[in-house]
Amino acid sequence: MAVRHLAFCIAACGLMVAASEPARSQPGGTPAAPAPAGRTFTPEERTNIAVYEAVNRSVVNINTKATVATGLFLLEVPSEGAGSGIVLDTRGHVLTNYHVVEGAKEIQVLLSDGSSHLATVVGVDPATDVAVLKIDAPAGVLHPVVFGTSSDLRVGQHVFAIGNPFGLERTLTTGIISSLNRSLPTRSGRTIKSIIQTDAAINPGNSGGPLVDSGGRLIGMNTAIASRTGQSSGVGFAIPVGTLARIVPQLIERGRVVRADAGVTRVFESDSGLLVAAVAPEGPAERAGLRGFRVVRERRRQGPFAVETARVDRSGADLVVAVGGESIKTADDFLSAVESRNPGDTILITVVREGRQLDIPVVLGSEQ
């Protein structure tokens, strides 16, 4: 897997949709890890062991082959230990990062029992760096991860990352959540919100692997590190399970993510909000009455000719200042607020029009 330097280096984890084999738990939710005869473990060690034993079979190693040009020839080059993945169900669906399989001509998934399976791509979402694969493997060798929640995470909470750094299969690293609600730019130019920041060691090959809590439940998919060297510097990032839970079912069902769309096609950012430049003809925004720039055409006589000119009148355009009651400053803020809803939902877009503030209900359509 290629490593990006300086700002963010892609390298991380995975999420899950359905749990089939709940982990055995002690009171309080922590999986039990019995100590072998004659061996004594500390409570922290028992938790580490229990989490690993509960989750490691849900982690797969993903190897790819890509076509590269060498002179006049195209060669398929294997990339051993390209990344990690997470078993989603007993039907053979596997979650990983889009950048792990991007451009791959062949994808091999290595399961915990040592068997290797050719994978096909079911669906991808470059905007969130998520991909779902499918393998044809017996249900008995597939161990789905248990879904958790990312809505109640706390800074300082212990977390566990399992993946294949440098191709070293099912490696466990531990740490804490060091921050929440980070934003992470993707290669598509979009920004993923609500990112989990952790100090658990994440390295190339961890991409697409799970980040789990002390109960062995999936809370995120490791996806990037901040590094100037390409190696772990103690700052890793994971896509929260809440985001994955919205995306994965759509990728399995449709092969793509259908996002809500407000029908606003062009905006200008300003210190006061977003100035609407254009709306889609017959789109949700236009039907709701949102106003963009107006083209004014004027005709005048010039000798024997009639000359037509056009100018853009910005004075009547709406200034978007909030969506659903949340302040909006950038185009990415607007997209995030809209795309967190579903097509058919009604949202209130707050605009300033001719000095007056208005709340305009807009029935969202779907992104084409």
* Catalytic residue set: 99, 129, 207
Evaluate whether 77 touches 62 at the Cβ level (below 8 Å): no
Angle value at C-alpha 295, between 291 and 301, nearest 5 degrees? 155
Question: What is the bridge-based pairing of β-strands 93-97 and 13-14?
Answer: unpaired
Angle value at C-alpha 96, between 91 and 100, nearest 5 degrees? 130
Evaluate whether 113 touches 60 at the Cβ level (below 8 Å): no
Evaluate whether 10 touches 209 at the Cβ level (below 8 Å): no
Question: What is the bridge-based pairing of β-strands 274-279 and 9-10?
Answer: unpaired
Concatenating the DSSP letter of every residue in 302-363 gives ETTEEEEEEEEE-TT--EEEEETTEE--SHHHHHHHHHTS-TT-EEEEEEEETTEEEEEEEE
How far, in Å, CA of 292 to CA of 286, rounded? 9
